Structure formats: C-alpha cells, structure tokens
C-alpha cells in the first residue's frame, strides 16, 4: 500500500496524458535479495501487481529493469561525475544499515543507479514518495554536474511528491516498508491483511476521550475516503466513545472492497502469463531504443567513441 499510494496510483493516473516509463527494479532488489528464486518471484509478482492495479502496458512503456542493461553502463559513466560525499549523505543507506541490512557497494551506490533509471530515459517528472526526495535531489545534482562537465546533454528531472500520500505509515507507525515488516499487502492473503490491520499500533487514550487524528489508523483510513468520509471519520475520532477495534474492522472491510477488482484482475493475469511476458518484452524493446539514443549521445560527449 505504501508503494501504491506513494507512487503507483499517480503513475497509473498520469499514463492517460503522459508518456509514462515505468519498470520493475530487479537490479535494485539485488542490493538486499541474494536468493535467486526469491528475486525471480518478486520480480514477476511486482509486474503482475502493477498491471493488475491499472498500469496499461500497451499504452505505457513498462519493463523489467535488467532487461534493459544499458542502464548499468550509464551508471558507470555517471559514477565518474558523482562525488562520494554526495552518496555518503544518503539517509536511506544509513537507515538501512542501522536496521541490519548488509552494507554492500550496491546498496551504497543505489542512488547512482536510481539516477540512471531516470536520466538514461530522459525522464522529466518523477512521481515518488517523500522518502525518495533526497535521491531525486542527488539525481538532479548528478545531471547538473554531468552537463557542466560535458555540455548540456541530460534532462534535469523534477520530483513530483503528493502532499497527502507523501509518507504512508506502516502498522507500527514507522514508514510502511517491506524492509520493516510493517506493510499491508494489497494482494496478500485476506487473513494476513486482517491480522496486519488489527495490529495497527494505537495509544491508550481512554474510550470516553477524543482520539488522535495523527495516528497511523486515521492516516491509513482516510486514503480510502472522499471529503465527506474524511470529515465524518475526523468527527468520530474527536468525539468520545470511539473504539479503535471497531475502526480497524471497518478499515479491513473497506480495504478488501476497494482492492477487490484489482485482486480479481491479478488472478486473471496470473493465468495468462504469455500475455504478461509479451508485454514485458515489448516494453523492454521500446525502453532499449530510448536508452540507446541517450547513451549514444553520452558516449560521444564523454569521449568513449574513439573512432573518428
């Protein structure tokens, strides 16, 4: 749900009017997943999730990151205009190693690969959650440094962060993230979703006192409500008598109803994998053409093309 409300839902909305490029980041996933079968499963599952949630692979350019390996060459090239100090300031790296993730070089230099993900395809607007704001700033710094060094070549992108969904809390109140085991998985087993929702952290404010509208339970629930629904929930939170357990049960019902059509579509897609693979191949071909065009300019301006 963090990915969906932080980024996917906007991409899906944007694809109607924009030339959307999006992909499943299996090179990035390697920074923390070293079991091949898990990486394979997660990659295809993420692709199915995205299409089931509404990404239209026939309209947008949608691919699996490692199917367009040009991005790794691009990463090497831009690494040489990237100051080590810039990467050392990455808060997400520090955060991950403090949580016990192995500090490998891939994890450390992940913001450079992320910069390539954007710059290698000429991305100009990048919908992200607030947690990625710093990485977008790094991407801009790298693009500007490249252009200052080699002349105007790369598009300097702008982040697009939505106020309301900028950082979704997980069930423990921290940022919702798979690395923290605090997610509500849209396509998870219903029993598990219920268990997660019933475990959303709450406080010990007595029943007959007003409740906290900054709590994760409130913040998660309003995502599914229209303006009137939000006002009503706020009023209920601020009036005495509200029981957190009741609200959690309502939230569970709401989430299951909201995502039901997506869950059905995903079920259908998983029985039609040939279609999914074909769309992914088309996507990587389209993305590869764009990457080749930009890489060819980059190779020229940097002096990698030695034939005269």
Interaction between residue 111 and ligand AMP (CB under 6 A): no
Choose, by CB under 6 A, the member of 27, 131, 138, 284 that binds ligand AMP.
131
Is there binding between residue 101 and ligand AMP (CB under 6 A)? Answer: no
- Cβ–Cβ under 8 Å, residues 68 and 287: yes
CB crowding 8-23: b at 16 or more within 10 Å, else e: bbbbbebbeeeebbbb
Whichever of 111 and 242 has its CB closer to ligand AMP, that residue is 111
For ligand AMP, give the closer residue by CB, 57 or 169.
Answer: 169
* 16 a catalytic residue: no
Smallest distance, Å, CB 17 to ligand AMP? 20
Q: Closest separation between CB of residue 128 and ligand AMP, Å? A: 4
When binding is defined by CB under 6 A, the residue of 90, 109, 132, 139 that contacts ligand AMP is 132
Cβ-Cβ contacts under 8 Å for 164 (sequence gap 6 or more): 223
User: Would you count residue 49 as binding ligand AMP (CB under 6 A)?
Assistant: no
Q: Is residue 7 a contact residue for ligand AMP (CB under 6 A)? A: yes
**Which of these is catalytic: 16, 94, 178, 231?**
178
Is-catalytic flag, 94?
A: no
Which of the ranges 2-10, 43-51, 72-80, 83-91 carries the binding residues for ligand AMP, by CB under 6 A? Answer: 2-10
68 vs 171, beta carbon nearer ligand AMP:
171
Q: Is 128 in the site for ligand AMP (CB under 6 A)?
A: yes
Count of residues engaged in binding ligand AMP, rule: CB under 6 A = 14
Helix axes 110-119, 91-98, angle to 10 degrees: 140
Stretch that binds ligand AMP, among 45-53, 93-101, 173-181, 218-226 (CB under 6 A): 173-181
Is 228 a catalytic site residue? Answer: no
Binding site for ligand AMP (CB under 6 A): 2-3, 6-7, 128-129, 131-132, 165, 167-168, 175-177
């Amino acid at each position: 749900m963090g990915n969906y409300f932080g980024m996917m839902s906007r991409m899906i909305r944007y694809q109607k009017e924009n030339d959307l490029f999006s992909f499943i980041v299996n090179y990035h996933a390697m920074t923390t997943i070293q079991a091949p079968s898990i990486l394979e499963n997660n990659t295809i599952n993420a692709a199915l999730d995205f299409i089931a949630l509404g990404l239209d692979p026939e309209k947008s350019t949608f691919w699996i990151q490692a199917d367009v390996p040009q991005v790794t060459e691009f990463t090497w090239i831009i690494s040489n205009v990237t100051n080590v100090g810039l990467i050392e300031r990455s808060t997400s790296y520090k955060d991950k190693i403090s949580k016990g993730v192995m500090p490998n070089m891939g994890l450390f230099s992940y913001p450079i690969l992320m910069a390539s993900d954007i710059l290698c395809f000429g991305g100009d607007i990048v919908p992200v959650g607030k947690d990625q704001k710093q990485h977008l700033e790094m991407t801009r710094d790298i693009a500007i440094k490249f252009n200052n060094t080699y002349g105007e070549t790369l598009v300097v992108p702008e982040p697009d962060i939505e106020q309301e969904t900028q950082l979704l809390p997980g069930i423990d109140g921290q940022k919702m993230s798979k690395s923290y085991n605090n997610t509500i998985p849209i396509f998870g087993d219903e029993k598990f979703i219920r268990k997660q929702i019933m475990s959303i952290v709450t406080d010990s404010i007595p029943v007959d006192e007003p409740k906290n509208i900054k709590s994760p339970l409130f913040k998660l629930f309003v995502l599914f409500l229209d303006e009137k629904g939000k006002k009503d929930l706020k009023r209920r939170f601020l009036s005495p008598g509200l029981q957190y357990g009741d609200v959690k049960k309502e939230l569970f019902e709401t989430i299951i109803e909201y995502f039901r059509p997506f869950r059905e579509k995903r079920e259908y897609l998983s029985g039609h994998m040939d279609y999914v693979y074909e769309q992914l191949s088309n996507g990587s071909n389209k993305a590869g053409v764009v990457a080749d065009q930009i890489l060819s300019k980059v190779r020229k301006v940097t002096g990698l093309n030695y034939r005269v």
